[in-house]
Amino acid sequence: MYLWLKAFHIIFMVTWFAGLFYLPRLYVYHAMPENRSSFELFKVMERRLFAIMTIGAVLAAVFGLAMLAINWRYLLEVTHWFHLKLLLVAALVAYHYACYRLMAAFRNGTNTHGHKWYRWFNEAPSVLLIIVVILAVLKPF
């Protein structure tokens, strides 16, 4: 059962990350004044992608918590890699929320960031993904 939970956790984690990678890329294009004629289309695409990535995030969390319910010793033992992983997942949830706030700013016409800022913002989930995968696979400490 644990391996089934892990498989679905990974599947929905990939779904979530697909959105975390692509939504800020849409923001890059949405923030470029030369794309003004496509702004309404970007709003629709952003809203739909955010919904899909939120479903992925929730289901990744559900299956992750189910795995934790079966293997709860990770919370009690001195497994610093796991505690760091949870902290980084919390950072990803905060990033997800920041994506929502940015999407709302575009929708309301109150965006204050340029496309260069969004290019940098877009890099954060890549860095976090690398660290989380290394922690989960290597369990270095």
Cβ proximity of 9 and 60 under 8 Å = yes
**Cα separation, 110 vs 102, whole angstroms:** 9
85 is in an annotated binding site: yes
Contact 56, 120 (CB under 8 A): no
| Cα(42)–Cα(32) distance, integer angstroms | 11
Report whether 115 belongs to an annotated binding site: no
Binding residues for heme: 9, 85
Binding residues: 9, 85
